[in-house]
Amino acid sequence: MKRVRTEQIQYAVAQYLKRRQYVDTDSSLKTAKLCQTPEEMAASITVQTESGCANIVSAAPCQSDPQQYEAQFSKLHSFLSEAEISWAKEVSLVLFPLFVYLHLDMVRSGLKSAVDSFYSRFHSHFLQEPEQRAVVEQLRHVLSAQDISASSKLSAFLENKS
């Protein structure tokens, strides 16, 4: 009974899409899933609510392994600088705010040696533009969460990820 109903629904949708002149409706409907188990539905809802732009960086589990900050940033930087794809230059614009955010996150987490290593390895990449240079120079003197709180500009990087 359930299978027959599913096929009827798929047929009705396919006919509607054909009347609207959508292409390739048959193959897309065959892969479409019209019912979900409660577990699949719960997982889907969890993914939708727990992920998103606001949680992209903060969801990274780097705090358990401080070297991951440097390793992951290095991999991203290398990929974007070596990639021969048209959008790599545009995407590389995210490196500066990500550098600042990760630096401040390590400071806030009390990872002093990781902060020093991360800063010394990557700060030179962001000294060309005057605005970035000013922020990078300011980061050199940020040693605690109180230093971050004292600067509205640096606080904005953590609060807004901007």
CATH number at residue 144: 1.25.40.500
Do 87 and 129 lie in one domain? The reply is yes
Do 120 and 148 lie in one domain? The reply is yes
Q: How far is CA 8 from CA 20, 23, 25, 50, 66, in A?
A: 19, 20, 15, 35, 55
Q: How far apart are CA 104 and CA 100, in angstroms?
A: 6
Do 49 and 80 lie in one domain? The reply is no
Do 47 and 110 lie in one domain? The reply is no
Which of 2-11, 20-29, 113-122 is least confident?
A: 20-29
Query: How many structural domains is the chain composed of?
Result: 2
Do 64 and 26 lie in one domain? The reply is no
Which of 32-41, 44-53, 147-156 is least confident?
A: 44-53
25 CB neighbour count, 10 Å cutoff: 17
pLDDT range class, residue 57, cuts 50, 70, 90? low
Do 100 and 68 lie in one domain? The reply is yes
| Structural domain boundaries, residue 89 | 57-160
Residue that is last in its domain, among 14, 34, 53: 53
Is residue 146 helix, strand or coil? helix
Tens-digit pLDDT profile for residues 135-152: 999 999 998 888 888 888
Do 96 and 32 lie in one domain? The reply is no
pLDDT of residue 31: 57
Do 34 and 114 lie in one domain? The reply is no
Do 23 and 92 lie in one domain? The reply is no
Do 86 and 120 lie in one domain? The reply is yes
Do 42 and 72 lie in one domain? The reply is no
Do 28 and 82 lie in one domain? The reply is no
